[in-house]
Chain A
Amino acid sequence: MAAVTLKGVFKSFGSTRVVHGVDIRIEDGEFCVLVGPSGCGKSTLLRMIAGLEEISGGEIEIGGRVVNKVPPKERDIAMVFQNYALYPHMTVFDNMAFSMKLAGESREKMRQRVEVAANILGLIEYLDRYPRQLSGGQRQRVAMGRAIVRDPQVFLFDEPLSNLDAKLRVQMRTEIKELHQRLTTTSIYVTHDQIEAMTMADKIVVMNDGKTEQIGTPLELYDNPANLFVAGFIGSPAMNFLNGKLIRSEAGMQVQMVDGLMLPAPTSAEQEGREVVVGVRPEHLLVRSDGVHAEVVVVEPTGADTQIFCKVGGTDVIAVVRERHQFKPGEAIRLYPELTFLFDPASGKRL
């Protein structure tokens, strides 16, 4: 096991720079998730850690050793690919034992280690099958088994669950997390799904446009987003953004919402008169008689709670409430933002 450190890592393809100076420190045994929209550079970053992409600049350290020029096989890592990359002409056993076969291990040792991994993953009865004879979830397990067998310093996962159906994805998510708790191998996991990131990670790195937007634990990012991007990306349904203006009143600084509603704003006095973006999570919108005016568009009950899609002064807003309301489309209601985040509209920075 080992810590992984990225120092000012960037990557260019020709003249296009796709990763701009990324600094991340992943502690030994940590489960770190790189999350961001497609094309944000997260997969490229992972492939650079694996040694499949050349590093254009900066340094990557695995276990205190700079690996910029080290070929993949000597980095002591194992990778699980999005399409699993199982060798179709080899049985499950041969797939899992391939690295040991190349290393010239004895048949005895191969069987022993493959069986340990297969037991962990419930694959023991499939060892003689070919990948084509397995279901998606089983193939996924074989891909992980191939990684486990190598007993590497670091596990790398490149969107491993995106080819699975929704139900299986949730199940495998739990399995991977359980596996990590058991093996405690440093893991770096790339996904575009923020729920995967939130549920699995010890540490989340939110990436956008080849840059890190924020690094922190799942709840840190949720409770304390550093900017508009992170605020909008983390959380489901996504955070609502409304326009407001900061004014000073006898009660201190306040933010004035579209229809005149005043809310306390924890900012300094110099900000007076400034336009701001007010972020409110759907679950922090309460149906209350002193809230902002909203018009109900669609009501979606999910059983445990109800999602109310409405319009507030022309902006789409989602509220998630636990009470059961019988709202009709077009009905006028009032929503009170219980907790707000203020952002600078120009830079997107949290105020």
Chain B
Amino acid sequence: MHRLLENRNFLGFAFMLPAGVLLLLFLTYPLGLGTWLGFTDAKVGRSGEWIGLDNYIYLWGDAVARLSVFNTFFYTVVASVIKFALGLWLAILLNQNIPIKSFVRAAVLLPFIVPTALSAIAFWWIYDAQFSIISWTLVKLGWIDTYIDFLGQPWAARLSTIAANIWRGVPFVAICLLAGLQTISPSLYEAASIDGATPSQQFWYVTLPLLTPIIAVVMTFSVLFTFTDFQLIYVLTRGGPLNATHLMATLSFQRAISGGGLGEGAALATAMIPFLLAAILFSYFGLQRRAWQQGGGDK
């Protein structure tokens, strides 16, 4: 027993065991179960039979499911691009010497700290057809005559949910990129300014390349979060109007839990996995593995 406790391999295994069990129980098992269910015709109250790819074939032919795939991509691409641009801009702004810097930095994080369901409810009010503060302001300013129906029209609803997602996601991007900016040595900018670089050239030739590793990580996370977003949509629109804002995650939930079609919902959820893997691989191979980060010894 005593010798066993001295053994590095045994100790390593022993210390990893609790985490391993947790992962198996709460991550691997549900994931496996979900994938399995996708290949069955399980319904609520009935364990399913193996039906192969039938669910996927059915979903491929289903207009709503296809719309949800389009919505998910539209939502992810537009929100991520804007989150990146806004986040980078905010990070650069916060990296300057501005008064009450730490307070502003803390304030920027606020949308990220507030529970999503709560901020979604706030946006629900902001987007309300009768009580919207945005419509009210615009009307008072005399810019529009009638209240905007933010969540009632397909494209308005899509853009409104994207705006809410951006509001919630920007702080994460901004704070991570700010951390990245602060790792760039100020002497590089000094060297660049002596070398004759204008501020925009310094950004292009120094800041951006040095930030790519962090951009890759942050944007991978951001894309994953956005792609799998559920709460915001579910609170704001429940996928409506006319399924215009249904993402794969919300539609999967609706089909599986509300609709009782466990197999079908699980198949839709499983269909998200290849896209997510592709995003991860793209960031890993495309952005993170740059030769200059790899070092490769001193000689």
Contact = CB atoms under 8 A, between A and B. Distances in A.
Interface of A: 50-52, 71-73, 77-79, 81-83, 85, 87-90, 98-99, 102-103, 130-135, 146, 150
Nearest to B187: A85
Contacts of A89: 209-210, 290, 292
Contacts of B194: 50-52, 72-73, 77-79
Question: Interface residues of A: mostly helix, strand, loop or mixed?
Answer: loop
Given A89-B210, A102-B201, A71 B296 contact: no
B185 A132 contact: no
B295 interface: yes
A310 B205 CA distance: 58
B170 to A, nearest CB: 26
A349 B210 CA distance: 52
B291 A87 contact: no
Contacts of A72: 190, 193-194
Contacts of A81: 187, 190-191
Interface in B262-299: 290-292, 294-299
A132 B210 CA distance: 14
A155 B290 CA distance: 33
Given A79-B194, A102-B196, A85 B295 contact: no
A88 B292 contact: yes
B43 to A, nearest CB: 55
A146 B197 CA distance: 14
Given A89-B209, A89-B210, A133-B297, A102 B195 contact: yes
List the 9 closest A-B pairs by CB distance, nearest first.
Answer: A73-B196, A85-B191, A99-B195, A85-B187, A132-B295, A89-B209, A130-B292, A89-B292, A102-B196
A87 B194 CA distance: 13
A134 B201 CA distance: 26
Contacts of B190: 50, 52, 72, 79, 81, 85
A230 to B, nearest CB: 30
B24 interface: no
A135 B292 contact: no
B178 to A, nearest CB: 20
18 contacts: A50-B190, A52-B193, A79-B191, A79-B194, A81-B190, A85-B187, A85-B188, A85-B191, A87-B209, A88-B210, A89-B210, A98-B195, A98-B205, A130-B292, A132-B292, A133-B296, A133-B298, A133-B299
Contacts of B206: 87
Contacts of A90: 292
Nearest to B189: A85
Nearest to A47: B190
Given A89-B290, A133-B296, A99 B187 contact: no
Contacts of A132: 292, 294-296
B196 A103 contact: yes
A316 to B, nearest CB: 39
A18 to B, nearest CB: 18
Contacts of A85: 185, 187-188, 190-191
Which of B191, B296, B297 has the largest count of A CB atoms less than 10 A from its CB? Answer: B191
B298 A134 contact: yes
A102 B198 CA distance: 9
Given A72-B193, A89-B290, A102-B201, A83 B295 contact: no
B6 to A, nearest CB: 38
B210 A135 contact: no
A83 B187 contact: yes
Contacts of B187: 81-83, 85
A89 B209 CA distance: 7
A196 B206 CA distance: 32
A79 B194 CA distance: 8
Contacts of B290: 89
Interface string B8-45: 00000000000000000000000000000000000000
B195 A73 contact: yes
Contacts of A103: 196
Contacts of B201: 102
Contact of B188 (A87, A134, A135): A87
A77 B195 CA distance: 9
Nearest to B209: A89
A71 B193 contact: yes
Contacts of A130: 291-292, 295
A89 B292 CA distance: 5
